[in-house]
Amino acid sequence: MNRNISKALWTLGSFIGAQQAAKFARNVGSVEWNDILGVVGLERRPSALSRALPALGLVAVSAAVGAGAALLLAPSSGTELRARLSDGLDDVKNRLEDVKGRVNEKINDKIGAYEQHHTSNSTS
């Protein structure tokens, strides 16, 4: 009788252990490097690009504000200023339309390649 109880407890323990192992295996997929490093008190060093990008953005915005202020404060008649602003806005509009067209072409190319890849995989 004692042997049967021991065997039943061993089986129950094995079953509980298997459940815990399965639970652990499911959670391992959601662990990231930052979690592991955080356990030992470390963290990743930010890349040079992630440190420099905000500074470059600030320089670009400052340059745009400075250029706008220079246009508005430069000595010229209202007609000349409006003509320069209109020409500048037309130039920006044309550039944006060109970029939009190129982006749309690239997107359509990627969609076509994706569809072609998946239709060729589904037929084979």
Q: Lowest-pLDDT range, 7-11, 62-66, 68-72? A: 7-11
Q: Does 120 have pLDDT greater than 60?
A: yes
> What digits encode the pLDDT tens for the residues 24-68?
666 666 767 777 777 778 787 878 878 888 888 899 899 888 888
> What pLDDT was estimated at residue 122?
63
Integer-rounded Cα Rg, in Å, for the chain is 32
Q: For the chain, what is the total number of helices (H) and then of strands (E)?
A: 4, 0
Mean pLDDT computed over 67-87: 81
Burial code (b: 16+ CB inside 10 Å, e: under 16) for 76-115 equals eeeeeeeeeeeeeeeeeeeeeeeeeeeeeeeeeeeeeeee
Q: Where are the domains of the chain?
A: 1-44
pTM for the predicted model, two decimal places: 0.37
CA-CA-CA-CA torsion sign (110, 113, 119, 124): negative
Dihedral pair phi/psi, residue 97, rounded to 5°: -65, -35
Closest CA to 81 of 95, 94, 70: 70
